[in-house]
Amino acid sequence: MKELIKIIDEKLDEYLQVVYPEDIFKAMKYTLMLPGKRLRPVMCIETARVLGCDINKVLPAACALEMLHVQSLIHDDLPCMDNDDFRRGKPSNHKVFGEANAVLAGDALLTFAPQLIIEKSTELSSTQILRILHEYTKFAGAYGLIAGQVVDIESEGGKLVKSAKETLDFIHLNKTAVLFRLAVRIGAIAAGADDAVINEFDEFAKKFGLAFQIYDDIMDEISSFEELGKTLGKDKASGKLTYVSLYGLEEAKRKFNYLIQECYDIIEKYNSDIFNGILDKLKTRIMGK
């Protein structure tokens, strides 16, 4: 996993060159190059690898995914959204570059990502590239990430069109699971997998995404700034709908554990140290040894 993250970091640095006008490229690169877990590119590459694909084929698309993820983090931290001063252990993008440049840096990452896929995925067929771009635009937009964020904001204002449980699942299937789904789907498409295999990984990523969000909600209660690199306890203070506020800590842990076990079961046949390692790490942090 460490070696893979090193490759991803080097590629991100290489793909995003700072040119004139330097301020925007510096703002894009600032949050991108801070030490994130790189889970989405890692899961994209590992899906491709276990399905028999050379990882070099999928590296540009995997890095594009991290750019999309970072765009969502930069925008999520803005005062008009979650208003967070810290991200990845450092001041948020708008705190360093100002709000206008943070909005533009997010927009620029969102548009550079598909440009990168088109320009650098030289070992994928045009059909594969088209399919990846279709998935990217669908999952990043109002049918995915943006839908999750909108319902999250609405629910904070007390607007609940569906039940609290349905609303919470909708938010996190769209805000969190969607990028893990996109990651494994792109990896599987690059490997030339059929729809049955793509759907199997998709199911894994949905469950993983929900488990990851429950993990995130629990960590907001039990962790520290040093471990997470962001402000803690904001959700609780603002009365936000979370898995912990809705179900309580113990039931949230039970749900997390159940989903993680389902993830182990789906992925078992691929014998992947990387997938198993990610699941082990999350599980140990929440449930103990």
Applying CB under 6 A, which residues contact ligand GRG? Answer: 36-37, 39, 72-73, 75-76, 81, 88, 110, 140, 145-146, 149, 175-176, 213, 216
- In the complex with ligand GRG, which residue's Cβ is closer, 202 or 216? 216
Q: Least CB distance from residue 269 to ligand GRG, whole Å?
A: 26
Phi-psi region of 271 (alpha: psi -120 to 50; beta: other; left: phi over 0): left
Provide, rounded to whole angstroms, the least separation between the CB of residue 208 and ligand GRG: 11
- Taking alpha carbons only, the member of 140, 278, 164 closest to residue 215 is 278
Helix (H) or strand (E) holding 266: helix 249-267
CB 113 within 8 A of CB 64: yes
Cβ distance 129 to 190 under 8 Å?
A: no
CB of 240 to ligand GRG, least distance (A): 12
For residues 27 and 193, which CB has a smaller minimum distance to ligand GRG in the complex? 27
Q: Which is nearer to ligand GRG, 81 or 286 (CB)?
A: 81
Considering the complex, what minimum distance in angstroms separates the CB of residue 54 from ligand GRG?
Answer: 25
Residue 233 tokens read as 């306890």
Please, which residue, 39 or 48, has the CB nearer to ligand GRG?
Answer: 39
* The token pair that represents 257 in the structure block: 């554990």
CB of 120 to ligand GRG, least distance (A): 21
CB within 8 Å of 136: residues ≥ 6 apart: 64, 68, 113, 114, 117, 182, 186
Closest-by-Cβ residue to ligand GRG is 36
* Closer residue to ligand GRG in complex, CB, 93/149: 149
| Element housing 86 (H / E) | strand 86-87
